[in-house]
Amino acid sequence: MIKVILVDDHVVVRSGVKRLLEEQADLQVIAEADTGDDAYKLYHQHQPDVMLMDMNMSGSSGLATLSQIKARYPEAKLIMFTSHTEVVFAVQAIGAGAKGYVLKSSTAEEVIQAVRQVASGKSYLSSEVAQAIALQNISADDDPTRSLTPREFEIFRLLAEGADIDTIAETLKIGQKTVANYQTQLKHKLNIHTPVELVRLAIKHQIIRLQ
């Protein structure tokens, strides 16, 4: 029996995925969470075979929670479950230690296959994302955001979305001074000098989108 923890801040999404997984004789959802903080606690409590976690949640994001869990449990098998089709998000998730990256637009069969494959020790990428990575000709040199660490990427994304230092510190559970230091590092690493340049870079590489 493969034991799974579901993490998503939308009850309807969790309910649908839980029903889908538990229709399989070899899959069991043992716990659910709607925040990154609860996900970390539940992982520590249950240490499941697989954690299926949303990338975007209120409070601590899936990417931040992923890094937190992997720091304490290096062998943890986590799948990012997301609507982000952009390659940069998949690259960051895998770089942070995710064993799978599955789109919410995936078929039921693909989600089930991902859980089984990751539980067996393999990696899994949604076919759409895998194809995008294979077809992408842009090198890391052409996209400086791909050289960012998961923590740098998370702070860059939040800054681009308009979050201030206090909000980022609270969201990621780190000090305001630490956020300010990261902000300075990002300016040097990405060769940006103003908030407008930061937003333009994020839009150019599809990290944020204009509404």
Task: Give the model confidence (pLDDT) of 62-86 as tens digits.
Answer: 888 998 899 999 999 999 999 888 8
| 109 & 156 share domain | no
What's the pLDDT at 6?
Answer: 96
| 124 & 40 share domain | yes
Is there a domain that residue 209 lies in?
Answer: no
What span, in angstroms and rounded, lies between the C-alpha atoms of 79 and 36? 14
What's the pLDDT at 138?
Answer: 47
Phi, psi of 50 (to 5 degrees): -145, 140
pTM over 0.95: no
Q: How many structural domains does the chain have?
A: 2
What span, in angstroms and rounded, lies between the C-alpha atoms of 187 and 92? 19
| 47 & 119 share domain | yes
Is there a domain that residue 94 lies in?
Answer: yes
| 90 & 118 share domain | yes
Residue 167's domain spans which residues?
A: 144-204
| 96 & 51 share domain | yes
What span, in angstroms and rounded, lies between the C-alpha atoms of 35 and 104? 18
Task: Point out the residues of the chain with pLDDT beneath 70.
Answer: 58-60, 134-141, 209-211
What's the pLDDT at 21?
Answer: 95
| 153 & 102 share domain | no
What's the pLDDT at 12?
Answer: 93
What's the pLDDT at 59?
Answer: 64
Residue labelled with tokens 């409590």: 45
